[in-house]
Amino acid sequence: MSDVLTSIIEGVLEDLERRTIPLVQLQAQLRDAGPLRGAKLALGGSGMKIISEVKRASPSKGDLSAITDPIGLALTYEEAGASVVSVLTEERRFKGSIKDFTDVRSAVSIPMLRKDFIVTEYQVIESRVLGADLLLLIVAGLTQSQYVDFHQMAYELGMDVLVEIHNQEELERAMAASPSIIGVNSRNLKTLDVSPAAFHELLPMIPAGIIRVAESGISERAEVEMVQELGADAILVGETLVKAGNAREAISRLLGL
């Protein structure tokens, strides 16, 4: 199978070439960027937290939900007890958009994660202008210098960073930037295979004091209890919620409320 992650990043870079706002102009817009909401604080403390995702499609499952009202869905997440709302902005494989993000940002009061494949300085700055409280950096999709530079840039701009890893080597790379939030993705983004073994191996290896997020493949309460026993502080859930029919009940079920 071809490397899915590489293919996605190639598409992201092609789409970036069509951005109409020059980098210099984008940097100027930072002066007017509003206050952020503190994603790290929202994900800290006792009890399992949930990052609930507005997600229309995925490379592994295709179309998941039309989501004609992303604002309404995000507000339901917030009312149901989500700590952070994640919104996909990648267009080709996930059918997300920047408009989805800004629409939801204007409606909810909890922190927001910009879920995309961040591979350029432009996207880091763009994320802050859009109001992202939390930025995703996927170690597997970045060189080490890119990862460290983008991580530092995000913090200097006031954003928190969710650093995504898939194996021990990526965890070791991730630690070079002194991260405060690490997500273990049980889905291999190169093959799209899901294996809970990643949770068992990696969650206990993340040093104390770092917020641990379990990503992908979580649909049942028993799975939430399992990752919590392994040390997870939060779960990131998209497919299960958008296909549930009743997102409020799905969140309550996952969190055992």
Choose, from 58, 83, 86, 185, the residue flagged as catalytic: 185
Annotation says 60 is catalytic? no
Torsion of CA 135, 43, 196, 247, to 10 degrees: -90
Of 52, 86, 115, 126, the catalytic one is: 115
Question: 100 is written with which tokens?
Answer: 């989805």
Active-site position among 65, 83, 186, 216: 216
Neighbours of 157 (CB within 10 A): 17
Whether 90 is a known active-site residue: answer no
Known catalytic membership, residue 215: yes
Q: Is 185 a catalytic residue?
A: yes
Q: Active-site residue among 78, 90, 126, 164? A: 164
CA distance 142 to 37: 27
| Active-site annotation holder among 90, 170, 215, 239 | 215
SS3 60: coil
Classify residue 70 as exposed, middle or buried by CB count within 10 Å of its CB (0-12, 13-18, 19+).
Answer: buried
The tokens 């996207």 sit on which residue?
A: 123
- Residues shown for the chain: 257
Which of 49, 52, 53, 239 is flagged as catalytic? 53
Which residue in the list 55, 83, 186, 239 is annotated as catalytic? 55
Q: Which residues are catalytic?
A: 53, 55, 115, 164, 185, 215-216
